[in-house]
């Protein structure tokens, strides 16, 4: 059953146009084979992670994710990459709109970081081992009782100086005409940890410039279905805009911080919205004149 911690998206197969240019079956098969090779190599590299140091781990992870995108023929275009500069001494809650399984690959291809992911990803073949080895924090969205501990673990990671990638929508959307509302619970970790929120806006385009929902992971389809569809696409571009940080002090509470982040991302994507505000009852006061005058009459 859906709840605020495990929302549902209205997106499904009907959101997918299906008219995007595609490659042939042999090319698609070669892409899948190449991607599988990248994941297998990544799994073999996991035991080395603790001994190569932080810089070595980030360099290795960046290479893995860039190679994975190339294997699928995805072109990555990044604006504002300096916002994810290397060597920053404080943590940040990195929040993006969530469309595809490619989102996290793109973010880590620019700057490797920890992530907050669904518990079931831990059990995925090959990829689950790689994700776990990267220091991922896992969340059980089916249980509201786990929420306080998840926020506490996230706060500790942010205080330690980590960048942590989260998807506040709680699920994937196709990206056409809008996105899901940002759930505010995770933003409490940024407030408690005293770290900024780093918004990132993501969208997908085809080679002709039109925005496409084709890479979306939506509805009841499996991750295998979504991966196969991406492997067939020709000329896919992933655009990523790294936006200015939002200091936790700019908001009175986590709800306002979530709204500010959501608005920043929507604005960057050309979908201008206003933050949700608490309604106030307004009373119109009309001052009485000091002296009464006789009404004027028309001549």
All structural domains of the chain, each given as residue ranges with its CATH number in brackets, are 13-268 (3.40.1010.10)
Cα–Cα distance list, 86 to 65, 91, 240, 247, 255 (Å) = 17, 12, 17, 19, 30
- Helix, strand, coil content of the chain in percent (nearest 5): 40, 15, 45
Q: Which two tokens stand for residue 82?
A: 């300096």
User: Cα 221 from chain centroid?
Assistant: 20
Residue 139 or residue 254, greater confidence: 254
pLDDT of residue 245: 94
Arithmetic mean of pLDDT, 163-170: 89
Which range, of 26-30, 249-253, 278-282, averages the lowest pLDDT? 278-282
In this model, does residue 295 exceed pLDDT 50? no
Q: What is the pLDDT of residues 172-184, one digit of tens each?
A: 666 665 667 888 8
CA distance 179 to 271: 9
What percent of the chain is modeled with pLDDT above 90? 42
- C-alpha 247/C-alpha 212 separation (Å) is 32
Average pLDDT of the chain is 82
Q: What does the alpha-carbon distance between residue 113 and residue 192 come to, in Å, rounded to a whole number? A: 20
pLDDT in tens, 37-69: 998 888 888 788 778 887 888 888 889 999 999
The stretch 113-122 carries a mean pLDDT of 82
**Whether the predicted pLDDT of 157 surpasses 80:** yes
- Which phi and psi angles does 116 have, rounded to 5°? -105, 115
Higher-confidence residue of 199 and 18: namely 199
CA nearest to 267, candidates 256, 259, 279: 259
Reported as a single tens digit per residue, the pLDDT across 127-137 is 677 777 777 88
Helices (H), the chain: 25-45, 53-71, 102-110, 127-133, 147-159, 187-193, 223-232, 254-268
76 token code pair = 């990555």
């Amino acid at each position: 059953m859906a709840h605020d911690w495990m929302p549902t998206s209205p997106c499904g197969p009907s959101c997918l146009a299906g008219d995007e240019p595609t490659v042939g079956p042999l090319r698609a098969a070669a892409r899948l084979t190449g991607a599988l090779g990248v994941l297998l190599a990544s799994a073999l590299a996991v035991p080395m992670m603790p001994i190569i140091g932080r810089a070595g781990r980030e360099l290795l992870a960046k290479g893995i994710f860039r190679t994975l995108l190339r294997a699928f023929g995805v072109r990555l275009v990044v604006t504002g990459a300096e916002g994810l500069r290397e060597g920053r001494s404080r943590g940040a809650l990195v929040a993006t709109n969530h469309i595809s399984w490619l989102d996290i690959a793109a973010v880590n291809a620019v700057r490797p970081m920890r992530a907050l992911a669904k518990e079931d990803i831990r059990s995925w073949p090959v990829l689950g081992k790689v994700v776990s080895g990267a220091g991922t924090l896992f969340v059980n969205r089916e249980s509201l009782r786990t929420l306080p501990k998840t926020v506490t673990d996230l706060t500790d990671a942010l205080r330690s100086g980590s960048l942590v990638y989260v998807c506040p929508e709680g699920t994937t959307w196709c990206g056409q005409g809008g996105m899901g509302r940002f759930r505010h619970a995770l933003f409490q970790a940024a407030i408690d940890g005293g770290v900024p929120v780093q918004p990132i806006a993501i969208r997908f385009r085809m080679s002709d410039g039109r925005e496409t929902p084709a890479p979306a992971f939506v509805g009841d389809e499996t991750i295998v279905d979504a991966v196969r569809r991406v492997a067939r696409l020709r000329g896919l571009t992933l655009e990523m805009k790294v936006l200015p940080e939002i200091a936790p002090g700019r908001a009175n509470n986590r709800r306002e911080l979530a709204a500010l982040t959501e608005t920043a991302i929507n604005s960057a994507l050309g979908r201008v919205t206003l933050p949700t505000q608490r309604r106030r009852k307004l009373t119109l006061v009309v001052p009485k004149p000091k002296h009464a005058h006789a009404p004027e009459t028309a001549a």
